[in-house]
Amino acid sequence: MRSLFRQSPELFILSGLVIITYAAIALFWNVPGTEVLTPTKMWFIIVLSFLFSTFIAIIAVIAGIGGGVLFTPVMLAFTSIDTLLIRATGLVVAMFSGLISTGPFMRKGLADVKIVFFCSVPIVVGAMAGAFAAIYLANVMGATGDAIVRLALGLVLVFIAMMFILGGSKTEYPQPKKIDSFSKKMRLYSAYWEESLGKVVEFHATRGLLGGFLFFAVGFTGGFFGLGGGWAVVPVLNLLMAVPLKVAAASSGVLLAMGNAAAIWPYITKGSLLPLLAVPWMLGQVVGGILGAIILVKIKAGFVRKVLIVILFLTSFKLIARGLEGLFGINIPVF
């Protein structure tokens, strides 16, 4: 316990503050004007949210996708909570799953600093634009606009998942046939210690300019839907820019923390972030993010690829089902 406190003192501080805060809420729940939830119901929601968030964070960090990819579809499917509120909380979930794993990834050398700096600018700009667009279009286009984009996004995820399947193990340590001049000028090359192989793996990213445009699009869609951007950051880095899968997953976690931190502000100014819902999910991301980062370092890259394929398919099925339901009223039961 003492060694864990030395490694992550912020975990204990945050946990203590959360417990104190909710204890205070429980004490004053019967003050006139605050009769919303009884202490029993409130703590049930908090504990269940924390446990589910921890599980989501472990899977999300291993796959490098951000917890929002799992949180947002589930909440949209099984609750009647306002859409903007779910999106805002989804960004918090995605942000903290990447934020907590950043330290271990950077210390282990898995998250490449050059790639993170290069990709962070278009992701942050795109995420902010997407968040503002979500708030604006929620009043203008309504459910129809959401349904169209959800359907298109679901089809894109199916395509990406199929590329991972057809690519096989080649996607774990890709070797680009040609390095473009732009990527050379940006010096997008590095090396890291691959623990599962017991050797240093060198790599050089390619197609950097095209990757920058795609990262803007990833940030935009992530900020718009509250999914984060990890569902596409890893495929773009790995399949397009030829970055090793583990480095792509680790760098994705750092990029998610930066992009989602920017995207959350428009939702906060709109008043679409509810602390009672967000805080237990945030704490679960802290615990699960640390566990997921430890697991990712030790497992083989092939396992990461399989987890990513499953999550991409599950997410795409949910998005397609929601899109068809919004456009044509077709109700397809999907998880």
Terminal C-alpha separation, the chain: 38
How confident is the model at residue 89, as a pLDDT?
Answer: 85
How confident is the model at residue 269, as a pLDDT?
Answer: 84
333 found inside a domain: no
Q: Is the pTM of this model over 0.75?
A: no
281 found inside a domain: yes
Q: What average pLDDT does the segment 269-291 reach? A: 78
By DSSP bridging, strand 199-204 and strand 189-194 are: antiparallel
pLDDT confidence band for 281 (50 / 70 / 90): confident
Burial environment of residue 73 by CB neighbours within 10 A (0 to 12, 13 to 18, 19 or more) = buried
Does the pLDDT of residue 118 top 80, yes or no? yes
In the chain, beta strands by DSSP E = 189-194, 199-204
Q: What would the pLDDT profile of 72-105 be if each residue is shown by its tens digit? A: 776 766 666 777 888 888 888 777 766 666 666 6
Nearest to 114, CA basis, from 303, 241, 266: 241
Three-class SS state of 223: helix
Count of Cβ atoms closer than 10 Å to residue 209 Cβ: 12
187 found inside a domain: yes
Domain that holds residue 219: 2-328
Nearest to 57, CA basis, from 315, 280, 234: 280
Q: What average pLDDT does the segment 275-297 reach? A: 76
Does the pLDDT of residue 216 top 90, yes or no? yes
335 found inside a domain: no
Q: What average pLDDT does the segment 227-234 reach? A: 73
Q: Which residues pair with 260 in a beta bridge?
A: none
How confident is the model at residue 45, as a pLDDT?
Answer: 75
Any residues with CB less than 8 A from the CB of 288 and at least 6 apart, and which? 53, 54, 55, 56, 57, 58, 60, 61, 67, 97
Q: What average pLDDT does the segment 210-225 reach? A: 87
The CA-based angle 119-254-130, given to 5 degrees, is: 60
285 found inside a domain: yes
pLDDT confidence band for 25 (50 / 70 / 90): low
**pLDDT-wise least confident of 6-10, 213-217, 249-253:** 6-10
Three-class SS state of 84: helix
- Across the chain, mean pLDDT equals 75
Q: Are 255 and 123 in contact (CB under 8 A)?
A: yes
How confident is the model at residue 168, as a pLDDT?
Answer: 55
Does the pLDDT of residue 30 top 50, yes or no? yes
Does the pLDDT of residue 335 top 60, yes or no? no
Nearest to 223, CA basis, from 122, 78, 116, 82: 122
Token pair of 165 as six digits: 């399947």
Q: What average pLDDT does the segment 46-60 reach? A: 80
Does the pLDDT of residue 297 top 80, yes or no? no
Does the pLDDT of residue 34 top 50, yes or no? no
267 found inside a domain: yes
Q: What average pLDDT does the segment 95-124 reach? A: 77
Total of domains in the chain: 1
166 found inside a domain: yes
How confident is the model at residue 314, as a pLDDT?
Answer: 79
d(CA 248, CA 111): 8
